Amino acid sequence: MDDKLISKKKPFYKVSKYLNLYLNNFNRWKPFSISYDDLLRFKGSVNVYDSSENDTLWIRVYYNNLERDEIDENLKKLYKILHSDGNDSRLEHLNIDAIDYCTFGNSKPFRIKIRNILNDNFTYFYVKKTDASRIYGLELEHMLSPYNLNFLVNDSILIEEHISGIPGDIFITKFLNNCSDIEKSQIAKEFVKFNERCMIRLLGDMRAYNYVITPTHDFDQVVYKIRSIDFDQQCFEGKLNIYRPQFFEENKPMMNIVRERLSHDSVLQYKIEERSIVAKRIISSGDRINKLIDVMKKDTITKNENLNQLKKDIFKFTNEKDFMKCKNMGYLMGSSIDYVRKHYENHNLNNLIRSY
């Protein structure tokens, strides 16, 4: 896929009053004593390299002593709010080991490494600029994927928990070729399902560095799952193929093992399975997803030309005229959800399938 199809500078969209009410209602909106802009006041930085001395495109930032003490204290409080009850007790047992800033991509996140000094256990969390389209992406992932997401937000800051796994580009380069044939078949299956899930919920730009592979030991085998880690391109771009990971050049090795390891009938089976699972999640989410879609329908999270292009592409893909009537991305997302749910309830998911 040509990188020119991806908008280089997607704008940040403000949180509307309706989204604010939704986030408050579901306990996502919190006051914090630090903002994203506070972290931008670093005095210097050094490059961060991986174990092979390759530049990671992250920089480790540092602050003057007075500011660093205040920033560390407030970051510890953020961690307690995100992962605990927000009580300020026992902050002395926590230490901010590193604050890294990503110079690559649109969202420019800060990655915070926090450690318990009593046992040296550590984890990460991320501080980002508030963006409505990213919030919609996080909420849809929370409801429609196999994974719950922990994040909190207000007007000036978005904090997200760390999603563990091997970045897709690193996995493809260093691990994929060493997998057994059985493991490759399983990874191929998971990629087909991941591809379907992204397309249904219109999550774009899943190039290899925007998802992780999570290996889990299960009896006598290793089970691989694929999980999104970047939700910046939710319902923004105009080309349908941007919402289908199979079409990115970086994912070509994954598509190669899909073609090598899975028959056409197996691909269809896994696509139907994933659409069925997503439909069940839509139904089980109850009124929450309906409330989110209602909020999206009152919001603007893309350009008109993107919306018009995507309506045409989805109509061409589904031959469903309702998509052409959508007034904005909220209506388009709602139509996608209704389309999958309707065909699932009518036991008619076979009609949704397109071949690779």
pLDDT score of 299: 97
152-179 pLDDT, tens digit per residue, is 999 999 999 999 999 999 999 999 999 9
Higher pLDDT, 124 or 2: 124
C-alpha span between 329 and 140 (Å, rounded): 14
257-301 pLDDT, tens digit per residue, is 999 999 999 999 999 999 999 999 999 998 999 999 999 999 999
C-alpha span between 50 and 346 (Å, rounded): 51
| Confidence band of 356 (pLDDT split at 50, 70, 90) | very low
Nearest to 279 by CA among 201, 347, 345, 341: 341
pLDDT score of 1: 57
What is the share, in percent, of the chain residues with pLDDT greater than 70?
A: 96
Max Cα-Cα span within the chain: 64
pLDDT score of 128: 96
Higher pLDDT, 86 or 29: 29
C-alpha span between 280 and 283 (Å, rounded): 5
Q: Is pLDDT at 355 greater than 50 in this prediction?
A: no
Q: Taking residues 203-219, what's their average pLDDT?
A: 94
Contact yes or no for 208/251 (Cβ under 8 A): yes
What is the pTM assigned to this prediction? 0.93
What does pLDDT average to over the chain? 92
